[in-house]
Amino acid sequence: MEFIIPIFKWLHVIAGVLWIGLLYYFNWINGHVVATMDGDSKKKVVPELMPRALYFFRWGAAWTWITGLVLLLIVYWMMMNDSMFAEPGIDGASKFKHFAYLIPFLMVFVYDAFYKSPLAKDTRIATIISFMGIAGVLAFLVFVSEMTSYRAYNIHIGTMFGSIMAFNVWYRIWPAQQRIITAIKNGEAPEPADAGMAGLRSKHNTYMSFPLIWTMINEHTVGVSHYLEGYGVLLVMIALGWHIVWHLYKKSGTIKGF
């Protein structure tokens, strides 16, 4: 394990840098550049550039998720399992203990259904509901399943974000981008629904990436939980991360070429 875990952490970081780096490129650079192109330029550049970039983008997402799942299995579910939860009381351990392992993955489908619903049409309302949903999942982990370890509930929230993001890449962004690229190559206007889907889910991934990275380094942030309850720290960092991303989106629109 002393050899396997560092190797998978190394691969996890490499894949994550590849994936998230391209995510930021698409959201803060590429979109603004493509908007300056005329039809002929798009027809020439997009079919050559995007399939290459999206290849590394989607496989970076896949390998980040796979290596992360391996680390979750080995480090938390196998090695730290006994120390993740509160000591069993008179009535034994929480009945929901094992459900804590599943909720990060089940929330992928809750997220996808929510953002297809009419409730998600208002961005402000959708953001508030999303934050409350994250707080609800965290409350379930900490107070219902009795997952008391700061590192454990951090990484399970991170697993939820990473799983949602990987799902978006493979099942929402990539299929839409395939149709967009094909339309541009044929000199046609892409379907607005495809552009909307790819753009929205890519934006969601950008917002989730900042708190995701916080959970990935949670081994180095344990000291922060000594000054504030660990779950409070995590909620603050999620809100702070979203605020920073919002400012970066605003800044990206102001940067000009030569």
pLDDT, one tens digit per residue, over 102-139 is 999 999 999 999 999 999 999 999 999 999 999 999 99
Q: Please indicate, yes or no, if residue 193 is contained in any of the structural domains.
A: yes
Q: State residue 82's pLDDT score.
A: 81
Ramachandran quadrant class, 187 (left: phi over 0; alpha: psi -120 to 50; beta: rest): left
Q: State residue 88's pLDDT score.
A: 67
Average model confidence (pLDDT) across the chain: 93
Q: Please indicate, yes or no, if residue 80 is contained in any of the structural domains.
A: yes
As to burial, measured by CB atoms within 10 angstroms (0-12 exposed, 13-18 middle, 19+ buried), residue 137 is buried
Q: Please indicate, yes or no, if residue 100 is contained in any of the structural domains.
A: yes
CB 146 within 8 A of CB 136: no
Which DSSP symbol is given to 75? Answer: I
Q: Please indicate, yes or no, if residue 206 is contained in any of the structural domains.
A: yes
pLDDT band at 89; cut points 50, 70, 90: low
Task: Domain of residue 37: give its range.
Answer: 4-252
Q: Please indicate, yes or no, if residue 32 is contained in any of the structural domains.
A: yes
Q: Please indicate, yes or no, if residue 159 is contained in any of the structural domains.
A: yes
Q: Please indicate, yes or no, if residue 258 is contained in any of the structural domains.
A: no
Give the whole-angstrom CA distance, residue 223 versus residue 219: 9
* Residue appearing with tokens 């953001």: 127
Is the model's pLDDT at 80 over the cut of 70?
A: yes
Is the model's pLDDT at 92 over the cut of 60?
A: no
Domains: count for the chain: 1
Tokens at 8, concatenated: 């998978």
pTM: 0.94
Is the model's pLDDT at 177 over the cut of 90?
A: yes
Q: Please indicate, yes or no, if residue 83 is contained in any of the structural domains.
A: yes
Ramachandran quadrant class, 191 (left: phi over 0; alpha: psi -120 to 50; beta: rest): beta
